[in-house]
Amino acid sequence: MKKVFCILVTALILLFPAVLFAGENANSESTQFFFTLGPVGMLNTDTLSAPSPIQFSCGFGADIPVTNWFAVSPSMSIFTTYYLWRDDATGARAYPAEVENRTALAPSAIIDVPAVFSLHAGNNSFALGLGAAFFACYAFLADSVPKTEAGDIKKINSFFYSNLRFLYPSVQFTYDFKTESGMKAGVVLKAFIPLASLMEDRGLDGGMAGIAFRMTLPGKTE
Domains held by the chain: number: 1
**Residues contacting residue 51 through CB under 8 Å, at least 6 positions apart:** 44, 98
Structural domain includes residue 222? no
The domain containing residue 50 runs over which residues? 2-216
* pLDDT on residue 90: 80
Report the relative pairing of strands 91-96 and 70-72 from DSSP bridges: unpaired
Structural domain includes residue 49? yes
Structural domain includes residue 221? no
With beta carbons less than 8 A apart as the criterion, state whether 112 and 91 touch: no
Structural domain includes residue 44? yes
* pLDDT on residue 26: 47
Beta bridge partners of 167: 134
Per-residue pLDDT of the chain (222 residues; tens, 9 = 90+): 455 545 555 555 555 455 545 444 444 458 899 999 999 999 999 988 999 999 999 999 999 999 989 999 999 999 999 999 999 888 899 999 999 999 999 999 999 999 999 999 999 999 999 999 999 999 999 998 998 889 999 999 999 999 999 999 999 999 999 999 989 999 999 999 999 999 999 999 999 999 999 999 987 655
DSSP state of 164: T
* pLDDT on residue 12: 52
Q: How far apart are CA 21 and CA 85, in angstroms?
A: 43
Structural domain includes residue 149? yes
* pLDDT on residue 1: 47
* pLDDT on residue 114: 96
Read off the CATH number of the domain in which 134 is found: 2.40.160.20
Structural domain includes residue 191? yes
* pLDDT on residue 8: 54
Helical spans, DSSP H, in 95-207: 151-160, 195-199
